[in-house]
Every structure is written in C-alpha cells, then in structure tokens.
Chains A and B, each alone.
Chain A
Amino acid sequence: MSQTFGNLEIGDLTGSPARNRRERIVSTTFRITAYVSLLVSILIVLSLVFEAWTFIDGIEIGWLWGDQWAPPFNEYDLKTPLVGSLIVTGIAMLVAIPIGLASAIYLSEYANPTVRKWLKPLLEILAGIPSVVLGFFALRWVTPNIVQNLNADAPGFTLAAAGIGVGILTVPLIASVSEDALAAVPSSLREASAGLGAKRVTTTIRITIPAAISGLVAAFIIGVSRAIGETMVVFLAAGGGGNQAQFTASAFESGTVVTAAMAATTAPSDRLSEGVALQSLYFLGLLLFVITLLLNLIADRFVRKVRMVY
C-alpha cells in the first residue's frame, strides 16, 4: 500500500500528542535530575561554610596557631594538618608523576599491541586496590626498607612513608589517565614527525606530549586531588591516628594531614561528638575544598595557555 501525498492539513504534520507528551516528560525528568545534583553540591558547600563559620565564631583565633592539632585540648593549629598534607602530597607526586607518566609513555608509544592489551587493564585493576592495604604496606614495608634506610633516626610512623604509600596508590590512576591522553593524539602527527626523520623519543617529547598536555595536566590534577583526599594510608603510616599531632615540617617525623585529622576527630568519643571539636572538621573540610578548587582553577589556566589544539 503506497502512501499518497496530496494537499496536507496542519494536523497531518503536528505529530501525535502522546509522543509529544512523552518527549516532554523525558526531558523534564532529565532537567530535574541535573538540577538536583547541582542543588546537592550547593547545599554541601553552604553547610560547610555555615559550620566552619560557627567554628571560627566559637573559638578564640589564637587557638588556630600553636604547635599541635589536638581538638580535645582546644588546640587547632592549622599549619599542622596543612603542612602535613603538603608534605605527603608533595612526596606522593614525586613518586607518582614520574612513574605514572613513564608507564603511560611506555604503554602508548612503545609497547606492542599485545603487551598493551594485557598491561592496560592490569593497571586499571591496580587502581582499585583498597587504600587500607597500601596503608599497611607503607607501614610494614616502606617504613623499615625505604624511610629508615634514608634516615636511620626516623620513627615507626612518618609522613615520608605515608607520602610514598599514597604515591604508589596514585601511580595507576595517573598512568591510566595519562595513557588515555597520549593515545588520543592522532597517529597522523606521529607519522608526520617520523616522516621527517624524528626518532621515536623525539616525536614523543616534541609532538605527542605537547599535543596531549591538557590531558596530562588533568591526570596530574586528578592525582593530586586523590593524594590530598587520601585518608587511610596516612592514618595508618603517619601516626596521625590519635586525636593529637605535633606540628612538624620534616617528612621524617610522625604527623597528620587534613583528611586523617578529620577521620581521627570523627572517631566516636563523648567529648568530640558535638561542639567546636566537631565543627573543626567542617572547617578543615572547607579548607580542603578551597585547596582543590584553587588547584583546578590554576590547572585550567595553565592548560589554556600551553595546549595545542589538534
């Protein structure tokens, strides 16, 4: 039966009302879910800001500067967890960025397809190792074999061991995201470079890495965010598990970081389940949020500046 196309009326082209209604319902549903997730994020930030403000309001400013982070004694020396986080994250990135980037370059530019087919998924599985396992590894193996070899006086709990543990934890993540960025560079650019007589290492350094730079920086930022946010490894290996951590600027001392301090303070105890000690957690949380936000903004600026669009 063939359709006939005579003169049409407007009703012939308006479509079925039922279908239009379905279309509207679907699009409304998606819009609502999008707004809900946005709203939840805003509420989280607002509650952080509110509680952090209550904390600041409820203490004397002098409590924020001292020589230890010890909520039970109303000592909230901010530089203790912040410098701890800086040290741990710094060491972690010193470990994770070179190893992660080198593995990514190997996988993307050098490994033959068979090796790559096996290694890439393996790497992604490694990214799923629970951090508590690495915490123990850092405590039981990294501390005696690496940290105490570097510095014989180092105690059993050190920020250095925690940093190395967090670094190992971050390697698969950085390697995997970096590899995606490198692999996304069109092979026509590699061919052009090779065709001009470039060695593979020259092509990698001069063409592939610059072309992938925005993805690589994103990988590093994800790595840093992961490292700053990591709790368990530091909790176990750095000795910040108690409610009390002395300020230190040395990697070879025990200490705490922002996240571990939060975890320790949350641990149930009559004194701390309410009041300023609890609110101090929100304040730390807000600091963490601001740090990661700034980091992302800086990285975004950097990427805009250096990236080569292909």
Chain B
Amino acid sequence: MTIETETEDTDNVNIFEVSDVNVYYGDFRAIRDVSIDIEANEITAFIGPSGCGKTTMLRSFNRMNDLIPTARVTGELKYRGVSLYDKRVDPVEVRRRIGMVFQKPNPFPKSVYDNVAYGPRIAGNVSKGAEMDDLVESSLRKAALWDEVKDRLKSSALGMSGGQQQRLCIARAIATNPDVVLMDEPCSALDPIATGRIEELMAQLKDEYSIVIVTHNMQQAARVSDKTAFFSVEVSEESDLRTGILVEFGSTDLMFSNPTDERTENYVTGRFG
C-alpha cells in the first residue's frame, strides 16, 4: 500500500540516495554510516551541534571534499541514480549540476556582472553578449538583487554589503542553471534583515531547484525547510574520538513538534548543544 502511493507520486523523486556513507579526513572519521534520501524540489535542512559533520555531509554531495587531499568517502552516494564517487565521474561535471553557496560570502574580486557570468562563461554554453546580459539579469532577479545593482553591474562586487554579496553568490550559483543548490550556513555572517531576505529567496527558488541547507539556527530550519536531518556528535568511550552521526531525519514539522529520538528533542528544545 505504502509502496504503491510512493511510486504513484511523481513529485517524490530522490535527488540524493545516501547509504552507509563514511567520510574520513586522514585517519579521522568525520561522519559514520549516514543513510538518508533527499527529495527533489524540497528544502532539506541539516542541523546539529558544531563538529557533527553536517557540513562534511553537504560537501560530499558536490565532491567539494575532493579539494582536501586527505579526504576519503566510503559507502554509496547516488545522485539521480548515478554513484557520485564512481571512478569515471568527473567532479567538474558534478559541480556544474550541483551548485554551492558558502558560509562566508565569497564573491570574486571582479565586477558584479563578471561574478554572475563566470559560471556560464567557463561552461562555454552562453557566448553572445546579449544572451549573457539576459542571463545575468534573470539570475540577479531570481536572487532579488537586480534592483539594487542594475546601475552598478560594472563596479566591484566587493563594494557591496555582506547580505548583497551573499545574494550575489546565490545569483552566481543559479546562473549555471543547476539542479541542486547546496548552502553551507549561508546566513551565519549576516544580520537578521539580510537573513530574512535570503530565507524568502530560498522559498521562491524551491520550485526550480532542490536545496540542501546546513544551519546552526534551528528557527531558520523550522522556518524554511520541508525536511530536517538532525546530526549529532558521538564520543567514543575508549578513544575519546568524536564522530558525526545522523540521529533522525523526517518532516520538519514532526522533527520540531514530536521528535522520536530523545537527543533530537533535547536539541530542538534547547536543552543540549
């Protein structure tokens, strides 16, 4: 019965299927045996205390951990049915489909226009000036930044406020027309007003993109996400080593109103972490 409803419901496409994934940095195991399915066109939030591996998990979705020479991933991590860590997979191809917004706004030291145009330019699929102009404009509009920057497209992105820079980074990420946008604590360096604007933006982007967001802010997870995954730290009794584990994953409403795991309940009610 349940299986039938799931197959009939065409909206429920999994973009990521993670089973028994471990990520190591050298000998250190950052996350252990995580299994989680992430659905398309939803906002999935990863919450949990510092050092619980939520950012590590996020960065394995677009193979960003490859940039760290000692990082290693075991287990199965499928993106739309393809194993992401298959030897034949080119991380560059992965990252063209799975964009990322980082914790600290990191615009390139170039003009606003060149920041947004960077992704399409290097992908080589938009060449003409007018076509690029349109793409830059539509990306900036989607990121709710167009009206603020339309008169200063040629000036440096570094002259903007932190909130504007972060929205520029979002515009830059969606200019490549990705399938998924990963966001790593995108609001932690921003004031409440800028945070509010980015949260509104995420709700609008959800129709077109799947979003996975890591956040320290539980209210933010409760406000913006459809599903929430709670990660925690497990300290080994013999070795004192700390490892991130996935404690509970479910719909955000349930996670915050009626969590099944006591650790989740303690965390979301503020008794721990």
Q: Which residue numbers of A lie inside 8 Å of B, CB to CB?
A: 112-113, 186, 188-199, 202, 206-207, 210-211, 308-310
Residues of B within 8 A of A202 (CB): 122
Contact of B173 among A113, A196, A211 (CB under 8 A): A196
Interface residues of B (CB under 8 A from A): 62, 64, 67, 69, 92-93, 95-96, 99-100, 102, 104, 106-110, 118-119, 122-123, 156, 158, 169, 172-173, 176
Bound-complex Cα distance A194 to B173 (A): 11
Q: Contact check, B176 vs A310: say whether CB atoms are below 8 A apart.
A: no
Please determine whether B67 and A196 come into contact, CB atoms closer than 8 angstroms: no
CB-based closest 7 A-B pairs:
A308-B109, A197-B96, A195-B100, A196-B119, A188-B106, A197-B95, A310-B109
| B contact residues around A310 at 8 Å (CB) | 109, 158
A-side contacts of B158, CB under 8 Å: 309-310
Using Cβ atoms and an 8 Å threshold, which residues of chain B touch A210? 109
Residues from chain A with a CB closer than 8 A to the CB of B92 are 197-199
**Known contacts A191-B64, A199-B92: does B122 contact A113 (CB below 8 Å)?**
no
Provide the bound-state CA to CA distance between A188 and B108, in Å.
9
Determine if A192 and B169 form an interchain contact, defined as CB atoms under 8 angstroms apart.
yes
Which A residues are in CB contact (< 8 Å) with B169? Answer: 192
- Kindly state the separation between the CA atoms of A195 and B123 in the bound complex, as whole angstroms: 12
* Pairs A–B under 8 Å by Cβ, sample size 7: A112-B69, A189-B108, A192-B169, A196-B99, A197-B123, A308-B110, A309-B109
Closest residue on chain B to residue A207 by CB atoms: B108
For the complex, give the distance between the alpha carbons of A66 and B78 in Å: 78
Question: Can you name the residue of chain A whose Cβ is closest to the Cβ of B119?
Answer: A196
CB neighbours of B176 from chain A (8 A): 196-197
Known: A197-B93, A197-B176, A199-B92. A192 touches B122 (CB 8 A): no
Q: Tell me the smallest distance from the CB of B174 to a CB of chain A, in Å.
A: 11
CB closest chain-B residue, reference A186: B106
Instruction: Give the CA-CA distance A308 to B110 in the complex, in Å.
Output: 7
Give A42 to B92 CA distance when docked, in angstroms: 56
- Residues in A whose Cβ lies below 8 Å from that of B64: 191, 194-195
Q: Is the CB of A188 within 8 A of B102?
A: yes
Q: Among B109, B119, B169, which residue has the most Cβ atoms of chain A within 10 A?
A: B109
CA distance A276 to B158 in the complex (A): 58
Do B109 and A197 touch (CB < 8 A)? no
Bound Cα distance from A193 to B123, whole angstroms: 12
Q: Are B69 and A193 in contact (CB under 8 A)?
A: no
B173 contacts A189, CB within 8 Å?
A: no
Q: Name the residue on B nearest A309 (C-beta).
A: B109
When the two chains form their complex, are residues B99 and A195 in contact, meaning their CB atoms are under 8 A apart?
A: yes
With A202-B122, A206-B122 in contact, is A196–B95 under 8 Å at CB?
Answer: yes
Given A309-B109, A309-B158, A310-B158: A195 touches B122 (CB 8 Å cut-off): no
A195 contacts B173, CB within 8 Å?
yes
A157 to B11, CA, bound (A): 80
